[in-house]
A and B are shown apart, each in its own frame.
Chain A
C-alpha cells in the first residue's frame, strides 16, 4: 500500500491546465508550414520554454518532433521528481517502455538493413536506461542484440526468438513478448489502493484489448490471415474482452465482418455511443482511451494513476501536433488533419 502524494496530483492538474485547447489545434492547422506551427507553439502555448532557443524559421520537422517527445519525458521526470517518487518501482515504467520501444526499433532496423536508428535515439534518457542506447544503435544483427542484452531483463524475454528461413527476426513475436512482459510488470507493480488499482487495471485492460483488436484487424483487413495465424501473434493476456470473444472476432473472414462483430462488444458499443467512426478503428480506439484517461484524471486522487494517464494524455497531445505538422508538410486538407486530432 502506498501513501498519498497529493502534491504530485495537484502538480499534474496544474500542468494539465495548460494543455493545448481545441482552438490551439485549429490555429495550428491554419498555418502553412512547419515553421509557422513551431512559431505558434513558441509564442502562444506552454511549449514556449521548450522552444525558447529554437529558430522557428529554420527548424527541421524531425528536430521539432524529437523536442516535443523529449518534453513529455522531461515533464514525466519533473512530476515524479516533485515528491521524490521516481525511485518507486512503478515509476520506472516510462524508462522500461522507452527501452522496449528502442529494442523494437533496433529489430526493425536489423530486418530492414537500415542504419537510421541513431537519428531518433532519445539520448536524453541514456543516463537512466539499463543499457547504452548509442551502443544499441550500432548493432546490426539479432545475435549481436541478444549478446548485448544478456545482462538485462530483456534477454530472458527474447532468447527463445529465432530467425526465419530468410534470416529475418519475427518482429511481431518480439513485440508480443516484450509488451506482455511490460504489462505484467505494470500489473505487478501497481500496488496502490484497491479502488485506484481497479481503475488502473481497467485502463490497462483497455490498452491490452485495443492492441490485440487493432493488430488483428490489420492482419484480417490487409493480409487476410486466418484465426490461428492471428492468435499466434496476439498478446496472451486479455482485458475486458474474454479470450473466446477475441477468438470470435479474429475468426471474421473479412474487415466488414470484423467490424460488425467488434461493434457488438463493449468497446464497439462505446465507440458508437460516443459518435466515433467505428470503421476507423485505430482513431476511434485512441479517442475512447483519451476520453477514459481524461475522466480518470479528473476524478482520481491517486498519484501513480494520475501520472500514468496524464503521461498518456500528454503523449496524445504531442501526437496531435505531429499529425498536424505531417499533414501540413504533405499538403493534407485541414478537415482530414482535424480528423486525426484527438481532443
Chain B
C-alpha cells in the first residue's frame, strides 16, 4: 500500500573475500547494487575495479555453439564441472566446436551437391523436347548448339533476324522466358552469339555428368537429388545425436560460466581502498536483518546499514508494496513511471478510480460477469498480466450493471427484483437519465481532480517541495481557487449569492496571484533570495500564459470526464441496437444475434473503455500529482536468458 522502506548498505572487507561476497549477493535476491564510486570520498584515494571479464571468451564460444547447433542452454546444477580449470573447459568447448564444424561441413557439402543437381535438373526439365544424347549434341563438328532461356520480349524480336544463319527451337515457356536452344554454323558463331547476348539470352551449361537424352538425363538427375537429400538428412541426424550427448555437460558449463561471468561483472561496481573493497546498495528493510547475517562466516566482511534517505547521493530504488486487490494495477503505475521514494504509492488510488470509471462506462451485469470470468481465466491459465485487471473491472461493470438494471442488454430483466425489494430509485436506466448521468460524471471528475490535488499537497509537504504544495495550480492555492469557483457556481445555481467582493478577492484573486508569483513565494518560504531570469517583462509574460493554461486545464480536465457518461450511454445504445436487430429477426436467428451482438459490444466496449479510463488516469489525474521519476528496485541475480555482447 505504500513504498517499501529501504536500507542503504555498505559492505566492506578484505579483497580476498570479494568474490565470495558477490556470490552471496547474487544468491540472496534482495540486494540492489549501486556503483560504490558514486559515494566514495575522493580524498580516500579509492580505485575503481576495471578488469576484463575472463569468462567472456568462453561464454562467447558457448553462445556460438548454441547458435550453430540450435541448442538453448538452461541453468543446471554445475557441481560436476565446478573444479575444472578454464583451460580444461576451453579445450572441451574447442573439441565440441571442431566436431560441430566437421558435421556442418559435411552437411554443407551435401547441400551444395543438392543445389548443383537441382539446378541441372531444373534446366534439363525445360529441355524435354531433346531426344538426342546431350554429349553427342555438344560434340557436333560443324554446328554449335547453345541451350538456355530467352526473355519473352526478346523472343518476339526473333523475326527481325530472319535473314541470319541460326535456328531457335523452344521446348517450353515459363512466365517471362522461352526455354530452348539455337543452332548456328561454326563460322557464324561469334555473330550469332552477339545477337543472342543483345537479346539477353541466358545460356545454360549442362554439366558433364549429364548423359543421354533429356528424358534419361532428367530421371538420372532426379535420382541424384533424392540421394543428396538423404545424405543431408543423415548429416543432420548425426549432428543431432552428437549434440544430444553433449547437451547436458554444455548446460552445466554454461551455468557455471554465466554465474561466474555475471558475478565478476559486479566487481566493476566495487571500489578498493588499501586492500579493502567497498560495495554499496539497497536492501528492503524487511530483509535487512537476514541480509546482515549472511556474511557471518566471512571474518573480514562488515555490513553497515542506515536509512535509505540518509544517504543524499543516490536516490533509493522503488519497490511498491501493494495488497492483493490493487497489485495488478501496479502495471499501470509502472507504465507511467515509478514514484519517487518519499512520495505516495498511487496504486490503490488507481485501482479504485480505474474500477469506478470502468464500471460506470461498462455497466452491464451479465457482460461484467463474463468479463470477470474471462479475465480470471486468462490470468490463471495464460499468465496474462491484464487478466486480473480485467477480472476486477469486470466485477465493477457487473455492479454498475445492477444499478443500471442491465443484463446482457436486457434493460427490464431486473425491474421485478427491485420492485419486490421495494427499491424505487433503482434501476437507474441509462437511456432515461442521459442528462443527470452526464452531469454526475462531470461532478465525479471534479471530485477526483480535487483528490488528486490533495494527494499532491500531502506529497509536496512530505518532500518539502513548497512551491508545488502551496502555490502551484495543484497546490493549496490551486485547490482554494478551484474549490471557490465551484462553490460559487453551485451556490449561484441553488440560489445563494456567493460571489461577494471579499469572497472574490480572498478566495479567487488571491490564489491566482499566488499561482502567478509561485516561484518568488517559494523562495521566500525557503528563506532564499529569488533571482529573476530574463527581466520583469519575461517573468510577467511567461507566468501570465502559464496561469492562463492552469485555468484552462481546470475546465478542460473537468469536462473531460463527460466521456465517462458518454460511454455509459454509448454502451446502452449499442445494446439497444443489438436488441432491436434481434427483435426483427426470426425466432431461430434472434438468439444468435443476441449472443454475437453481446460478444461484439463486449469486445469493442471493453477495449475502448479500458483505453478511456487509462487516459483519464494518466492525463487528468496523474499529471496533477505524479512525476514518475523513481528508479526501480532490481536485485542482482544471474540472468541465464540474457546473452553477452
Contacts and interface: CB of A to CB of B under 8 A. Distances in A.
B175 interface: yes
A58 B156 CA distance: 21
B200 A121 contact: no
Interface string A299-313: 000000000000000
Interface residues of A, number: 22
B160 A124 contact: no
B541 to A, nearest CB: 34
B160 A63 contact: no
A134 B200 contact: no
Contact of A53 (B160, B175, B199): B175
Nearest to B156: A123
B44 interface: no
A112 interface: no
A52 interface: yes
Nearest to B161: A118
Interface string B126-163: 00000000000000000000000001010011011000
A123 B157 contact: yes
A137 B159 CA distance: 12
Q: Which of B156, B160, B199 has the most CB of A within 10 A?
A: B160
A138 B160 contact: yes
A124 B198 contact: no
Interface in A32-89: 52-55, 58, 60, 62-63, 66-67, 70
Q: Secondary structure at chain B's binding surface: helix, strand, loop or mixed?
A: mixed
A93 to B, nearest CB: 23
A137 B160 contact: yes
B202 interface: yes
Contacts of A63: 151, 200
Contacts of B175: 52-53
B176 A53 contact: yes
B177 interface: yes
Interface string B154-192: 001101100000000000001111000000000000000
B267 to A, nearest CB: 41
A62 B200 contact: yes
B153 A134 contact: no
Contacts of B199: 119
Nearest to A134: B160
Nearest to A55: B202
A126 B160 CA distance: 13
Given A60-B200, A63-B200, A119-B198, A126 B176 contact: no
Interface in B205-251: none
A121 B200 CA distance: 13
B174 A126 contact: no
Contacts of B200: 60, 62-63
A138 B175 CA distance: 28
Given A53-B174, A54-B176, A58-B202, A121 B157 contact: yes
Nearest to A135: B160
Given A60-B200, A119-B198, A66 B153 contact: yes
A126 B177 contact: no
B156 A126 contact: yes
Interface of A is mostly: helix
A123 B160 CA distance: 11
Contacts of A62: 200
A58 B200 CA distance: 10
Interface string B311-331: 000000000000000000000
Contacts of A138: 160
Interface in A122-150: 122-124, 126, 134, 137-138
A62 to B, nearest CB: 7
A137 B162 CA distance: 13
B551 to A, nearest CB: 40
A116 B160 CA distance: 12
B157 A118 contact: yes
B479 to A, nearest CB: 50
B176 A134 contact: no
Contacts of B202: 55, 58
Contact of B153 (A52, A116, A124): A124
Nearest to A117: B160
A63 to B, nearest CB: 4
Contacts of B157: 118, 121, 123, 134
Contacts of B198: 116, 118-119
A62 B157 CA distance: 15
Nearest to A52: B175
Interface string A93-128: 000000000000000000000001011011110100
Contacts of B151: 63
Nearest to A58: B202
A53 B160 CA distance: 25
A66 B198 CA distance: 12
A66 B199 CA distance: 11
A283 B160 CA distance: 37
A114 to B, nearest CB: 12
A52 B157 CA distance: 22
Interface string B95-133: 000000000000000000000000000000000000000
Nearest to B151: A63
Nearest to A63: B200
Interface in A11-37: none
Contact of A134 (B159, B174, B177): B159
A65 to B, nearest CB: 11
Nearest to A116: B198
B445 to A, nearest CB: 41
Given A55-B202, A60-B200, A134-B159, A123 B176 contact: no
B174 to A, nearest CB: 6
B615 to A, nearest CB: 31
Nearest to B159: A134
Contacts of B159: 134
Nearest to B201: A60
B260 to A, nearest CB: 41
Contacts of A137: 160
Given A55-B202, A58-B202, A63-B200, A118 B160 contact: yes
B160 A70 contact: no
A162 B33 CA distance: 92
Contacts of A54: 176
A53 B177 contact: yes
Residue with the highest number of chain B CB atoms closer than 10 Å, among A53, A55, A62, A67? A53
B148 to A, nearest CB: 10
Interface in B402-431: none
Interface string B29-51: 00000000000000000000000
Contacts of A70: 153
A55 B160 CA distance: 26
A138 B199 CA distance: 16
A66 B154 CA distance: 11
28 contacts: A52-B175, A53-B174, A53-B175, A55-B202, A58-B202, A60-B200, A62-B200, A63-B151, A63-B200, A67-B176, A70-B153, A116-B198, A118-B157, A118-B160, A119-B198, A119-B199, A121-B157, A122-B153, A123-B153, A123-B157, A124-B153, A124-B156, A126-B156, A134-B156, A134-B157, A134-B160, A137-B160, A138-B160
Given A52-B175, A123-B157, 14 more contacts: A53-B176, A53-B177, A54-B176, A55-B202, A60-B200, A62-B200, A66-B153, A67-B176, A70-B153, A116-B198, A118-B160, A119-B199, A123-B153, A124-B153
Interface of A: 52-55, 58, 60, 62-63, 66-67, 70, 116, 118-119, 121-124, 126, 134, 137-138
Interface of B: 151, 153, 156-157, 159-160, 174-177, 198-200, 202
State the 3 A-B residue pairs at the shortest beta-carbon distance, nearest first.
A53-B175, A63-B200, A123-B156
